[in-house]
Amino acid sequence: MTPFNPDRLIVEFRPGMYPTQPQMNRKYTLTHSDETGELFLTLGPEYAFDKITGKRDEVLAEWRYAGGLYRFEVYVYLGGPDNPALAKKRYEIFKRELPLALEAIRYGDRIFFEAHPALDNTEVMVHFQADPPLAGRTESFGPVKRFKTPVTS
């Protein structure tokens, strides 16, 4: 895994989304360029489906509140039933690269976390989605603060 480089992250706030508010309906779409190595983080009330390519290597995330607790839910797509070997390989790649993606999200929205420091203790739940749905799995990646970079305040 390559180390996170904040200079390679481009952040876009869509209409209705601000650096410190709102918390609910705050959705993250993280994509990247294989050619330049840049990461693109879009924050909005909806996912930025216009940024998603046919490769389906995006990371989607959002805040959820249930049972009196916040959770940071992350979604990645592994693939369909026509190629289980590819889905397995994509799982291994996502598993290896997700810490960098989560660092980029945490860094890109650092002003939000400074305004809501308790959210750094929120559990990150990653949903590895695949078709059929029974092929997917959900794993805890620990608290959000685990992905706070040294350059993040």
Query: Could you report the per-residue pLDDT of 77-116, keeping only the tens digit for each?
Result: 988 777 778 888 888 999 999 999 999 999 999 999 999 9
The one-letter code for the residue type at 16 is G
Give this prediction's pTM. Answer: 0.92
Residue 137 near residue 95 (C-beta atoms within 8 A)? no
Q: What is the Cα–Cα distance from 84 to 132, expressed in whole angstroms? A: 10
Query: Could you report the per-residue pLDDT of 1-24, keeping only the tens digit for each?
Result: 678 999 999 999 999 999 999 888
CA quadruple 7, 8, 14, 16: dihedral positive or negative? Answer: negative
Q: What is the Cα–Cα distance from 135 to 87, expressed in whole angstroms? A: 9
Query: Could you report the per-residue pLDDT of 35-60, keeping only the tens digit for each?
Result: 898 999 999 999 999 999 877 889 99
pLDDT value for 153: 46
